[in-house]
Amino acid sequence: MKPSNLRRHLETKHGEFKSKPVEFFQNKLQEYRSSKKVMESTSAGGATAKAVEVSYRVSRIIAKKGMPHTIGEEVVLPAIKETVGVMLGDKARKQMDFIPLSDNTVQRRIEEMASNVNNQLISRIKASQFFALQLDESTDIVNLANLLAYVRYEYNGEIEEDFLFCKPLQTRTTAEALFDMLNGFITEHGIDWSRCVGISTDGAAAMVGQHSGLVKRVQAVAPQAKSIHCSIHREALAAKRMPPDLKTVLDEAVKTVHFKARPLNSRLFSVLCDEMGSEHRQLLLHTEVRWLSRGKVLARLYELRDEVRLFLLDSKFDLSGRFNDADWLAKLAYLSDIFEHLNGLNRSLQGKSVTLFHTQDKVEAAIKKMGMWARRVEEANYDSFPNLSDFLDSSDTHLSSAVQDDIRQHLHLLKTQLRIYFPTPDTTANWIRNPFATMDDYTLTNLTPRDQDSLAELSCDSALKMDFSDRCLPAFWLKVSTEYPELSDKALKWLVPFPTTYLCESGFSSLVMLKTKYRNRLNIEPDLRLRLSSLEPDIEKLTSAKQHHPSH
């Protein structure tokens, strides 16, 4: 436009604006500010701040569910677009294009959230008076050894437990290599080893070697750390021994299950069960490394014994006659019952805030019941074994003396083995379980005279006594830590350590699910942390930390 024409145009516009009311200019200012907000909310790449937040939240769900990172771009985002388009229209649908969900973006989001969760956890551990570790080592799909660790610590007056790390061991899995990995993590994050009061392992040689095992190396830098052999592993070891006749029945039961598991046999058996109206259509396979496997396999086989007998009628399987043998079936019924009892003991030793006292009580109860059950078997009373009792009643038979002797012998053997792996409990810590009992009921050899005076004072505090019944043991001793610090410290050193390594076992199950042959190069720890940790990432903080560039 020529200068003369531009001058005339501006004079004309000036005349038009001169006649406008003040409200016109106020509305224009408001429109400008609104448009500026929209532009400033737009980040690099065209994604809004809200879209970035959605990206984090969707990535967290993907990690929690153990899904491939590509699912965000290939499934989640198209599903969001379709849903929003139908429900809110095309204009809202187009805004969904701003959500960044490529596989690389999802991976970065997961890593950032995992780092945030890890930082939260480290801060809590540093602030905790004591902490305890639970460790185990296993291999993944590519035969890479992984050291997995959980931690227990105090936070807000409660004992918390959380996933600590999962690190690959590139070469050897010796005690030295395990300790270097663990010590490297602890020192890197500035955690004080002197506050470690317990380390729980599965009892493997590399873990508990007498001279140079991992536990010995940890105790060299953490003198207060108590070594604990996982109670569930000990219970499983105690259950391994049994009389030869019962062991034969167990082996033959497993062999039968494997025969039926052949593809054609499995399909035919499924059809047979369906025709007979059975509740289940398949037997369960036995896996030695799974704690509850033996009991579940035997229970299912006994439940489907009639179906198995019919299925094996025309087969050339050498054990087909076993399902017509009353003594063999009686032993199978007993084994399904006893291993179900052992599975119940196993499950009772798992759970958050389970303490050494809890495991002692459960095991002592099991040992007492074994003795009672053996005496009942001698009296031909089988009420403690539902499947065996039901079998004898339904078949209108009596248990032979040989089978009765095998059962009684097995119960005595179980009782003996449990006592070997679980020695008589130490009574010197009973004051921790109930500090309000009569002082004469305690063995106080582990308490100084000053501690005994403090315990006497605490035991007479009626307000604390009322509060004791409403709290779990760790929470109570954490509450009295200010008034009775010495007693509280001694109690927490008993209560904080893990009695089992079941969290590591469940963690390895998640690792196997995440790291498949299709994702064998995946750095598993960030995904595993978000999946296993009870802490939530601070998504608002992570979103606000992203640099948003206003348009010019």
Q: Show the DSSP H helices in 304-433 as ranges.
A: 305-311, 326-348, 356-378, 386-395, 401-421, 430-433
The verdict on residue 322 lying in a domain is: yes
CA distance 257 to 285: 6
Same domain, 415 and 473: no
Q: Specify the pLDDT at position 40.
A: 45
pLDDT tens string, the chain, 552 residues long: the values are 555 555 555 455 555 656 667 676 677 667 656 554 444 444 444 457 888 999 999 999 999 998 999 999 999 999 999 999 999 998 888 888 888 999 999 999 999 999 999 999 999 999 999 999 999 988 877 788 889 999 999 999 899 999 999 998 878 878 888 999 999 999 999 999 999 999 999 888 888 877 778 899 999 999 999 999 999 999 989 988 999 999 999 999 988 888 877 887 778 878 877 877 887 778 777 666 566 778 888 888 888 888 888 888 877 788 888 888 899 999 999 999 999 999 999 989 988 778 999 999 999 999 999 999 999 999 999 999 999 999 998 888 888 899 999 999 999 999 999 999 999 888 888 888 888 876 666 667 778 889 888 888 988 888 888 888 888 888 999 999 889 999 999 999 999 999 999 899 888 888 888 887 777 777 889 999 999 999 999 999 999 887 554 433
Same domain, 470 and 365: no
pLDDT in tens, 489-512: 999 999 999 999 989 988 888 888
Q: Specify the pLDDT at position 15.
A: 58
Same domain, 506 and 489: no
The verdict on residue 153 lying in a domain is: yes
The verdict on residue 342 lying in a domain is: yes
Which of 396, 421, 446 lies at the terminal end of a domain, its last residue?
Answer: 421
Q: What is the pTM of this model?
A: 0.84
504: closest CA among 136, 201, 144?
136
Same domain, 488 and 525: no
Same domain, 480 and 515: no
Same domain, 254 and 336: yes
Beta pairing class for 196-201 and 131-139: parallel
Q: Specify the pLDDT at position 12.
A: 58
Which of 421, 452, 475 lies at the terminal end of a domain, its last residue?
Answer: 421
The verdict on residue 48 lying in a domain is: no
Same domain, 510 and 487: no
Same domain, 490 and 401: no
Number of domains in the chain: 4
Strand order in the sheet with 131-139: 158-169, 145-155, 131-139, 196-201, 226-229
- Pull the structure tokens for residue 331: 């032993």
The verdict on residue 96 lying in a domain is: no
Q: Specify the pLDDT at position 13.
A: 53
- Residue 362's φ and ψ, nearest 5 degrees, are -65, -40
Q: Specify the pLDDT at position 227.
A: 92
- Pull the structure tokens for residue 524: 């598993």
Same domain, 399 and 340: yes
The verdict on residue 76 lying in a domain is: no
CA distance 331 to 248: 10
Same domain, 244 and 321: yes
Same domain, 386 and 301: yes
Q: Are 325 and 312 in contact (CB under 8 A)?
A: no
- Provide the domain limits for residue 361: 237-421
The verdict on residue 503 lying in a domain is: yes
The verdict on residue 552 lying in a domain is: no
Q: Are 66 and 513 in contact (CB under 8 A)?
A: yes
Same domain, 256 and 381: yes
